[in-house]
Amino acid sequence: MPPSPPVTATTRIAAPPEVVFPYFTDPALIVTWLGDRADLNAQPGGVFAIDVGASPARGTYLTVEPPTRVAFTWGLPGSETMPAGSTTVEVILTADGDETIVSLTHHGLPDEDQPAHKKGWDTLLSALPAAIKHR
Amino acid sequence: MPRPKSQADASAPDAVLRALADPHRRQILRLVQGHEMAAGQIAARFPLTQQAISQHIAVLKQAGLLTERRDGTRHLYTLRPEALDPVRALLAEFWPDALARLKDAVERAHPPQETR
């Protein structure tokens, strides 16, 4: 079975990276598009906590380089086999004229680097809560 | 490639998601990933009645998340990894949807301006 690629997504936004970047680091701004409540400490090692209804996503910021790069872990609290945050979401903001290209990559999802399903399930379940609520 | 497994499973995400919406059921799946466990062994790991565990197992089975094998009088359960596919597909849709909301949020708050 070949490794499955990370989940990726991109969008183009009619605003410069300086405007877009805080939407990944400011609790009041992130909840306009992701989750209902956020507790964010946007510095490496700082908390990344989003509640989507009753579903929490938890992690820590890994990289905070305004206005072009931000990365955070993403996981499910209360998992015995996986502490919150064994998947990683990496976001690159690239200026294009007056606009920003947002490229998001979610690493660490099932089978990316392991033939076994074990890690895949843990990480997928960890990434899942917000995905369920937002369908 | 023997058969298009993920295609067949793609119609099942709702049952899978309902089954996954309960923390006890998610914990059961973690217990039985990669090896078989009897219902009694599973129940011993939870502060729940055997009956409650049996109901959780039934929901997981119905969603296709568990494979059942009989060994004498015991029913052994293990995770059915293929059931992952529709859920992974859901997650693959999650971020594009989220970024679309991000785009809307930013552009509403910062309407594009005329060139100064």
Tokens of A65: 């380089």
- Looking at the complex, does the CB of residue B1 fall below 8 Å from at least one CB of chain A? no
What is the band of A58 on the pLDDT scale with cuts at 50, 70, 90? confident
C-beta atoms of B106 and A13 within 8 A = yes
DSSP B110: S
Residue type, B31: L
Residue type, A84: A
Alpha helices in A13-72 (DSSP H): 17-20, 27-30
Tokens of B97: 């949807």
For A7-130, CATH number out of 3.40.50.11540, 3.30.530.20, 3.40.190.10, 1.10.620.20 equals: 3.30.530.20
Choose the most confident range, by mean pLDDT, from A61-65, A74-78, A119-123, B107-111. Answer: A61-65
Tokens of B116: 């100064």
**How far is the CA of B22 from the CAs of A55, A74, A125, in angstroms?**
11, 19, 11
- Mean pLDDT of the region A49-57: 74
Of A104, A117, A122, the CB nearest to B95: A104
The residues spanned by each domain of chain B are 11-109
Residue type, A21: F
- Looking at the complex, does the CB of residue B40 fall below 8 Å from at least one CB of chain A? no
C-beta atoms of B21 and A132 within 8 A = yes
For an interface test with B, the pick among A12, A26, A33 (most B C-beta atoms closer than 10 Å) comes out as A33
Q: Each residue of B43-54: pLDDT tens digit?
A: 999 999 999 999
pLDDT of residue A1: 37
C-beta atoms of A11 and B81 within 8 A = no
A61-70, B22-31, B63-72: which has the minimum mean pLDDT?
B22-31
User: In terms of pTM, does the model score above 0.90?
Assistant: no
- Looking at the complex, does the CB of residue B99 fall below 8 Å from at least one CB of chain A? yes
Write the CATH number of the domain with boundaries B11-109.
Answer: 1.10.10.10
- Looking at the complex, does the CB of residue B34 fall below 8 Å from at least one CB of chain A? yes
Q: Is the pLDDT of residue A48 over 80?
A: yes
pLDDT of residue B18: 79
CB contact residues (below 8 A), chain B span 42-81, against chain A: 79, 81
The residues spanned by each domain of chain A are 7-130
Q: How far away is chain A from the Cα of B81, in angstroms, using its nearest Cα?
A: 7
On the CB side of B95, CA atoms within 13 Å amount to 22
DSSP B43: H
Q: How far away is chain A from the Cα of B73, in angstroms, using its nearest Cα?
A: 28
pLDDT of residue A57: 79
Neighbours of B101 (CB within 10 A): 14
C-beta atoms of B98 and A23 within 8 A = no
Q: In chain B, which residues have their Cβ closer than 8 Å to the Cβ of A127?
A: 91
Q: Each residue of A70-115: pLDDT tens digit?
A: 999 887 665 443 445 567 899 999 999 999 999 998 876 654 444 4
Residue B81: strand, helix, or coil: helix
| Mean per-residue pLDDT over chain A, rounded | 78
Calculate what percentage of chain A has a pLDDT beyond 90. 47
Cα separation, A14 vs A112, whole angstroms: 33
Q: Each residue of B44-98: pLDDT tens digit?
A: 999 999 999 999 999 999 999 999 999 999 999 998 878 777 777 777 778 888 8
DSSP B113: P
